[in-house]
Structure 1
Amino acid sequence: MASAAEAQAALAQLPQCVEAAAVQGISASGCGLDIACVCGNDEFLALLQNAVLTECPPADQAKTLGFAAQLCSKALPSLKDNKGPEVDAVVITIMVLATIAVSLRLIARRVSPKKYGMDDLLIVFALITTYGMDIMYLATVPTGLGRHMIMLSLPAIESFTKSYFAAQLLFAISITLTKLSLLFFYHRIFPVRKFVIISITTGCIMIAWFISLVFAIIFSCRPVAFFWDKTIKGGSCINENNLAYGITATNIVTDFVVLLLPIPWLLKLQLPMAKKIGIIGIFLLGSFVCVAGIIRIPLLTELKSTDVTWTSVAAGLWILVECNIGIVSACLPVMGPLLKMHFVGKLSSGFSSLRKSNRGSSRLSDEERLPSINLDDEVRKEYPNDHRRAPRVYNGSRKNETWYSVSSEPVGRHDNKNVKVQDVETIPQGQIAVRHDVLWERNSGRYH
């Protein structure tokens, strides 16, 4: 602990522009001349920082901050601590997870009959935007993120604040694109009119939320540059903590709305309970994103601290977790065909001899009746009369199923040997299915 004499000597070395603020801060802190106590007091640091930025010329600004850093780090060695390596490890890990998830999603689309859609395009854009956030966060580590602000130079503080401003905008873009991607995905698998209206309405609300959020972030300070340059005379900002609470609360609400939107329609699917629970479980994995948002709420109080480069690390990391894991959650329901191909394929090879012995039987083996989740097929059977979805061939995973052509042209009657099926999924080896004649009429939508 520094002596009273050292404290008095330190005060004497401060530039005149901050003397009054320093004395006022020491008095308000209740620390007396205990330098270690003073350096750890937020009120003292806030008064000193404000005086440095508004009262001192540039030469004295650098001198004061440098002197304060040297004095305080000597009295409080913990001020030299650095969370930077932890930040790097977390950010790189979640970046890799998001990248793998989107890659598997695109591969799954390629191997399935479904074509790439707007939901896939939006999730790719969401990943690119999230990359921007992640890289920006990593770039602020060398300039001060994870370190105590009193140890930083003014250029480093300004660089951090600019990055924080840009990261808020990227967060708004990323999280909105991810939610819109989910809505477009829901639209593809639930094309019934009522659900389409609900999903479009939800999407419009999301876009309106995004626009209002961007305006609130950009114009939170007047002039805008005052957000990162507090030396501008006459500048002012709204309460940043209240803004953060508002953004987080509305984001959590929209998370729950998008997450729960398809559940009533999923419950209507005519499926065995185990498979129905499995499908709903995949969708509800996205609830982790809601949990991440809720965890951030108590951490927002740290944004009021003057030592924001140190105290905001946890809140910032949870923002990145929310964006990256949100992308992972949005990709999980699309990975069904890929996972089915991989895991069921491996199991099938182990039962090849059993399949061969039963090839002439009308009963399927236990392995061939393994439950699989193909959401498109299940939804199509539940909502068969939708005018925008022509019937397709069932994937053959169960016996006694009816097979249909996906052609939009009339299909005449044939005997079973000559029926030609267009653009159908391959029948897995060893499976048996009953195939019936079909007449598809474009206008009436009736099957015979």
Structure 2
Amino acid sequence: MLFEETFRDSWALLLFLCIANAPVVASQDSGSVTELVGLLPNCSLPCLLNGIQAAACDLTALPECLCPNIPLQANVSACVQLSCDYKDQATVSILSNKLCAEYPKESRHHQLLATAIACAAVVFPIVILRCISRLKVTSRLWLDDWMTLVATVILAALIGVVVTTTKLGLGLHYWNVDVRNAVPILKLMYASEILYIIIQVAAKGSLLAFYARIFPNRNFQIAVWVGVAFLVGHGILFLGLVVFECRPVAAIWDRSLERQCLDLTKIALAGASLAIFEDIAFLVMPIPELLKLQLSTKKRIALLLVFSVGSFACITSMVRLKTVLIFGKSLDQTWDYVDGIIWSVVELTCALACAGLPALWPLIKSIPGVLSTVRGSKIRDVTDLSSRGPGTRPKSKTMIGSQNRMFKELPKLPTEHYDTSERGSKLEIKTKSSYMDMESSSRDEDLELQSVARERSAF
């Protein structure tokens, strides 16, 4: 009885509001106030009534009270989403947009577009210059370069998805989005989740391929393979969870379908946590190998700086972790997911850009007048390591001669005199052995950065 009374009061209040605002609704598609009231679904009436009462709106100025009041619209929208089916939600959204058509809409479009443009302007030139630098030094691209290129191409697709989704309504509040764009937006957001995982795996895989190429230590190679297995397993697992997060899959973007979905918040939180763990592990992984190298303090610092640029990607992953807590829980997805999307693009951009910066050093050195003060510095040999292929070694400190002809200065071998031809063969053997010993000793002295960088066929 009480419910019926409240329901009748709601209808009466709504009718009164429509009559009071007849000049507002008169210009709309509905031919009369009665027709407009008839278009409103019954499930939305308690939401509207409670919202108006809570905000103490003046009944003679409903648009002025409702349209600029974002918290009020958020409460009404959340109530409608929880109380009505998707078709009724669309009806309420259409009528709400008509009522507030003349009022400005809060938007974050500029943040999304600025992020997309800035990230594209940073990562694409760096990756292109990385490839040019590699070709200049080694005349070929290694596996880590190809994986970086693949990740960059997919990142370009992701940025395109973000720009397209923004034009459709991403960055607006959910209740301000054109109903016709709701399904395309949800489809594109679903695609962006898949692209993010693929780019993340490819970017980190390129880093492991780089490690495998420059550190030939057997134990380290095993550690790299373990990292590859963990990375691939992580990628496949979460790719499957995201792709099949709802049954049927079409229910992810078609809210009119009955569906059973996984907890997207838990999936996003677990994925972000594992990503941070991988970032830290892969960042720390080469440190033991670097500490084994016989380098001066300056070289150690320079080398650690080269590898530590990846920490920027780790920091962005940590910042992004905070934004994923609302995934799957928000009732204003087109607005609340903006931070997560921005930091996801920034994270991937930092990962690819930081991985490419060390490889740019040979190209920078070739520019006349650039970094002239460090020409001839020992740090040059350190940074060139990232461009070396298998079987190459840095120049020895004992190299002498012209620029085009370099010779290793060897100490004189001890001379021995033999009177018989029988001892001639022994002298030859001893001479060869002495040269081999000297070459081995020189190789130990030239061990800077484990310059025996072998390309692993398994990668």
**TM-score interval, normalised by the smaller of the two chains:** 0.7 to 0.9
Is this contact kept in 1: 2:265–2:325, CA < 8 A? yes
1:64 corresponds to which residue? 92
| Matched ranges for 1:168-317 at <5 A | 168-232=193-257, 234-303=258-327, 304-317=329-342
Give me the whole-angstrom Cα distance separating, in 2, the residues matched to 1:88 and 1:278. Answer: 36
Given the alignment, which residue of 348, 366, 376 partners 1:341?
Answer: 366
| Matched ranges for 1:271-420 at <5 A | 271-303=295-327, 304-342=329-367, 347=372, 368-369=376-377, 371-374=379-382, 390=391, 392=393, 394-395=394-395, 399-401=397-399
* Structure 1 residues 377 and 316, CA gap change in structure 2 (3 angstroms): closer
| 1:51 CA displacement | 5.0
Is this contact kept in 2: 1:190–1:379, CA < 8 A? no
Is this contact kept in 1: 2:119–2:349, CA < 8 A? yes
Q: How many residues get paired?
A: 385
1:6 corresponds to which residue? 17
State whether structure 2 residue 128 is matched by structure 1 residue 103: yes
State whether structure 2 residue 39 is matched by structure 1 residue 20: no
Q: Which moved more, 1:108-117 or 1:282-291?
A: 108-117
SS in 1 for 2:349: helix
| 1:48 CA displacement | 1.6
| 1:32 CA displacement | 5.5
Q: Over residues 272-314 of structure 1, what are the superposed CA-to-partner deviations in whole Å (9 max), with x where a residue is unaligned?
A: 2122111111211111111111112222344433222122212
1:155 corresponds to which residue? 180
Q: Which moved more, 1:164-173 or 1:243-252?
A: 243-252
Q: Which moved more, 1:272-281 or 1:17-26?
A: 17-26
2:439 corresponds to which residue? 447
Q: Which runs of 5+ in 1 are unaligned?
A: 349-365, 381-387, 403-415, 417-426
* Structure 1 residues 54 and 434, CA gap change in structure 2 (3 angstroms): closer
- Percent identity reads 23
* Structure 1 residues 306 and 100, CA gap change in structure 2 (3 angstroms): same
TM-score (norm 1): 0.75
* Structure 1 residues 21 and 214, CA gap change in structure 2 (3 angstroms): same
* Structure 1 residues 30 and 274, CA gap change in structure 2 (3 angstroms): farther
Is this contact kept in 2: 1:189–1:379, CA < 8 A? no
| 1:447 CA displacement | 3.3
- Aligned letter for 2:287? I
| 1:202 CA displacement | 0.4
Is this contact kept in 2: 1:189–1:375, CA < 8 A? no
| 1:245 CA displacement | 1.4
Give me the whole-angstrom Cα distance separating, in 1, the residues matched to 2:322 and 2:284. Answer: 25
Is this contact kept in 2: 1:26–1:33, CA < 8 A? no
TM-score (norm 2): 0.74
- Aligned letter for 1:40? L
Give me the whole-angstrom Cα distance separating, in 2, the residues matched to 1:147 and 1:47. Answer: 19
1:84 corresponds to which residue? 109
* Structure 1 residues 120 and 446, CA gap change in structure 2 (3 angstroms): farther
2:417 corresponds to which residue? none
1:360 corresponds to which residue? none
* Structure 1 residues 120 and 187, CA gap change in structure 2 (3 angstroms): same
Q: Which moved more, 1:109-118 or 1:337-346?
A: 337-346
Give me the whole-angstrom Cα distance separating, in 2, the residues matched to 1:379 and 1:310. Answer: 44
Is this contact kept in 1: 2:302–2:379, CA < 8 A? no
- Aligned letter for 1:372? R
Give me the whole-angstrom Cα distance separating, in 1, the residues matched to 2:387 and 2:43. Answer: 72
Is this contact kept in 2: 1:129–1:170, CA < 8 A? yes
SS in 2 for 1:40: helix
* Structure 1 residues 379 and 88, CA gap change in structure 2 (3 angstroms): closer
CA RMSD of aligned residues (A): 3.6
1:49 corresponds to which residue? 81
| Matched ranges for 1:429-444 at <5 A | 434-436=408-410
Give me the whole-angstrom Cα distance separating, in 2, the residues matched to 1:149 and 1:100. Answer: 36
Q: Please identify which structure carries the higher helix content.
A: 2
Q: Which moved more, 1:4-13 or 1:214-223?
A: 4-13
| 1:376 CA displacement | 6.3
- Aligned letter for 1:275? K
